[in-house]
Amino acid sequence: MKALRGATVSFRQNPFEQAAETCLVHHEDALVIIEDGKIQTIGPYSEIIARLPTGVVPTEYPNALISAGFIDTHVHYPQVEMIGAYGSQLLEWLNNYTFVTEQKYANEAHAELAARFFLRELLRAGTTTAAVYCTVHPQSVNAFFEESTRFNTCMVAGKVLMDRNAPEALLDTAQRGYDESDALIARWHQKGRQHYCVTPRFAPTSTEAQLEAAGALLRKWDGLFMQTHLCENQNEIEWVLSLFPQRSSYLDVYAHAGLVGQRSVFGHAVHMTEQDFCTCHDTGAALAHCPTSNLFLGSGLFRLFDAIDSRRPVRVGLGTDVGAGTSLSQLQTLNESYKVAALAGTKLNATQSFYLATLGGAHALYLDHRLGRLEPGFDADICILDYKATPLLEFRSSYCESLEELLFVLMTLGDDRAVRATYVAGECVYDRDRQGEKFRYAP
């Protein structure tokens, strides 16, 4: 058993559906009691302290907010080494940078090095769960899940499937992609806190046979996830329609193969039709909003408030999409999501933003029964946000007159420096101020 003391912020409702002020759960001085990796009790310190057994000393976090860990619904771990690659729109960028980089992951040692770095950077940013693209190489998946298991992080990941329109070194076949994915599922899916995700990169790099094989995997195994890209770029959409002329839309390509349903996550979804939104609502599929990536590549503006329209709301999470995205920090990503919403003629408030990065992401991944909230029975995946992390944050936060204003300042001025510590299943796996090694594997 362990305990954390400090101000807490969490959610009881969806602030896109209810008044923002009724959705937040905030205690200025709280005690969070953790046992066996889960939150046992949370509430005002003065009321809860008597329940703490003798000898358990709370870890105190003054000048900080204790929050559920962030959830990233779309990110490519092999692309960390090419983040910030200059220029080009999506298709040219893939050919010039992504496909060149991903060929390195045939080397198991390289995959292990990158997975080690990537997971530490996620934890440094306060992200405790992510939907992650590996490469076409099975060893890239093994390297990722092995490192995730060491930290005991709850991760969703899978081998990329590509059998056309990519360099020969990155191609599998419909059958080999199925067989390799099947073996990886047997090894990793629901082993500890790991979840397997069937991962066709996007429709242009898979034949119809491969997409149908991906659908067959989803039917064979219970509880699998599926992730791919959708409607990111206008040229991409035109290419898809030319490759699949018998389909009525980009999303219909996936639907025909049985890839649209619960636990399906479609990255970007910038250029969606009303029918697309209706299909996602009807099937329970989710969209990953990736603002830094869409701005960086000039792909367009995600229409968040169209997606969550109360007449047919679609599940939406937040994605960093590194390496087209420019930061693994969800605070930085929220900063850009606010600007994207404003450019689209809408306003995204701080309560809605932090919901997207926590409980909203968990909802998109169908993990909101255990992740995304500070609530008894939930996994103790927690990040500590230091609102005095930089001189500017400290100065600006001293003038905040409400919790909502403080959250907005954190998401506009904060980055990984504002993450004081990150807990995974109740263990402090990252501590910014710890002497020596900042990261520790779960015991």
Please tell me the pTM assigned to this model: 0.98
Which tens digit of pLDDT belongs to each residue from 104-150? 999 999 999 999 999 999 999 999 999 999 999 999 999 999 999 99
Q: What is the pLDDT of residue 87?
A: 79
Which tens digit of pLDDT belongs to each residue from 280-298? 999 999 999 999 999 999 9
Report the interhelical angle of 138-151 vs 108-124 (nearest 10°).
Answer: 40
Both tokens assigned to 291: 């603002």
Question: Which domains does the chain show, CATH number per domain?
Answer: 2-69+373-431 (2.30.40.10), 70-364 (3.20.20.140)
Q: Which helix (H) or strand (E) is 280 found in, with range?
A: helix 274-283
Instruction: Provide the pLDDT confidence category of residue 88 given band limits of 50, 70 and 90.
Output: confident
Which tens digit of pLDDT belongs to each residue from 245-262? 999 999 999 999 999 999
Which tens digit of pLDDT belongs to each residue from 202-226? 999 999 999 999 999 999 999 999 9
- Cβ neighbours of residue 435 under 8 Å, at least 6 residues apart? none
Q: With pLDDT > 90 as the criterion, what percentage of the chain qualifies?
A: 98
Instruction: Provide the pLDDT confidence category of residue 238 given band limits of 50, 70 and 90.
Output: very high
Q: Which helix (H) or strand (E) is 256 found in, with range?
A: helix 250-256
Q: What is the pLDDT of residue 20?
A: 84
Average model confidence (pLDDT) for the chain?
Answer: 97
What type of residue sits at position 391?
P
pLDDT at 337 over 90: yes
Both tokens assigned to 153: 């992080």
Both tokens assigned to 391: 């001189």
Neighbours of 273 (CB within 10 A): 12
pLDDT at 21 over 90: no
pLDDT at 332 over 90: yes
Q: Which of 218, 138, 116 is nearest to 184 (CA)?
A: 138
Q: What is the pLDDT of residue 422?
A: 98
Calculate mean pLDDT across residues 316-332. Answer: 97
pLDDT at 186 over 90: yes
Q: What is the pLDDT of residue 202?
A: 98
Q: ω before 267 within 30° of 0 (cis)?
A: no
pLDDT at 243 over 90: yes
Query: Quick check: 318 and 311 in contact, CB under 8 A?
Result: no
